[in-house]
């Protein structure tokens, strides 16, 4: 794939102390801000990108996407769950600990997007919103490459029966059952169904379930914990 880069971190290789050990990249989870800053620099260095050219979001489980052409700098970080750019070399980052990180890129048009799709965001349509913002900038779904990262899987994400029904009414592909036989939601399956319906065929899904993996942060498992990051950028 010429020009498009996708990366997902795990929890190792940073400086945060327990319960955020080691590579917590989330700035709003109670960790030492200095440790988070160092971790973001370490992660960027590992990826070969400039930490000053990474754009983060103030994620709120909503369905708003915003176009960005430079890091926020002194401006307030917007409360959105997807960021889209036509700026090559600008990296977009999404923070998660069980929610599904969604990275999208049309390397031909030079358009990239990062989206945070938890259960509420997936249901609200954050992924279609990100895709719409991309196509408005000239991206073509037939050329878009989609990668979803480590997330809680559909066999672990237990929800009340009524919640499963509400989610499945919007996105049937997200209907799931836990490995112990109770109602569940598969957010990542819902995301892929939405992308498929909108014409995005080049898709891959991380095999990692955050709740089952000791190498990843999981909010449902640990409650007070760090955040993983997904990064997308174009050369």
* Site residues (vs Zn ion, CB under 5 A): 153, 156, 209, 212
CB nearer Zn ion, residue 58 or residue 178: 178
* Residue 130 near residue 105 (C-beta atoms within 8 A): no
**Smallest gap from residue 156 Cβ to Zn ion (A):** 3
CA atoms of 7 and 72, how far apart (whole Å) = 21
CB nearer Zn ion, residue 145 or residue 209: 209
CA atoms of 158 and 164, how far apart (whole Å) = 9
**Smallest gap from residue 158 Cβ to Zn ion (A):** 10
Pairing relationship of beta strands 82-85 and 65-67 according to DSSP bridges? parallel
**Tokens matching residue 147:** 């990668």
**Smallest gap from residue 151 Cβ to Zn ion (A):** 9
Cis status of the peptide bond prior to 19, with omega within 30 of 0: yes
Exposed e or buried b per residue across 65-97, where buried means at least 16 C-beta atoms within 10 angstroms of its C-beta: bbbbeebeeeeeeeebbbbbbbbeebbbbbbbb
CB nearer Zn ion, residue 16 or residue 176: 176
CB nearer Zn ion, residue 84 or residue 228: 228
* Residue 106 near residue 143 (C-beta atoms within 8 A): yes
CB nearer Zn ion, residue 203 or residue 221: 221
Closest CA to 113 of 142, 143, 150, 81: 81
CA atoms of 157 and 165, how far apart (whole Å) = 14
**Smallest gap from residue 69 Cβ to Zn ion (A):** 37
**Smallest gap from residue 211 Cβ to Zn ion (A):** 5
**Smallest gap from residue 67 Cβ to Zn ion (A):** 34
CA atoms of 207 and 223, how far apart (whole Å) = 22
CB nearer Zn ion, residue 42 or residue 153: 153
């Amino acid at each position: 794939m010429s020009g498009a880069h996708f990366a997902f971190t795990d929890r190792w290789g940073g400086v945060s102390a327990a319960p955020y050990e080691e590579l917590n990249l989330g700035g709003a989870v109670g960790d030492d801000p200095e440790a988070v800053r160092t971790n973001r620099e370490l992660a960027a260095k590992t990826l070969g990108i400039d930490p000053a050219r990474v754009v983060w979001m103030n994620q709120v489980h909503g369905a708003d996407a915003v176009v960005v052409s430079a890091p926020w700098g002194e401006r307030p970080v917007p409360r959105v769950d997807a960021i889209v750019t036509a700026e090559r070399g600008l990296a977009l980052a999404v923070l998660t600990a069980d929610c599904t990180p969604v990275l999208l890129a049309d390397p031909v048009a030079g358009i990239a997007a990062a989206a945070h799709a938890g259960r509420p965001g997936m249901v609200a349509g954050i992924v279609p919103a990100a895709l719409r913002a991309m196509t408005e900038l000239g991206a073509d779904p037939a050329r878009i490459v989609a990668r979803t990262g480590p997330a809680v899987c559909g066999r672990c994400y237990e929800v009340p029966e009524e919640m499963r029904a509400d989610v499945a009414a919007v996105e049937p592909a997200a209907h799931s059952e836990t490995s112990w036989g109770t109602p569940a939601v598969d957010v990542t399956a819902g995301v892929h169904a939405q992308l498929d319906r909108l014409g995005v065929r080049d898709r891959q899904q991380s095999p990692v379930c955050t709740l089952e993996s000791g190498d990843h942060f999981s909010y449902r498992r640990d409650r007070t914990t760090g955040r993983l990051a997904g990064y997308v950028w174009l050369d």
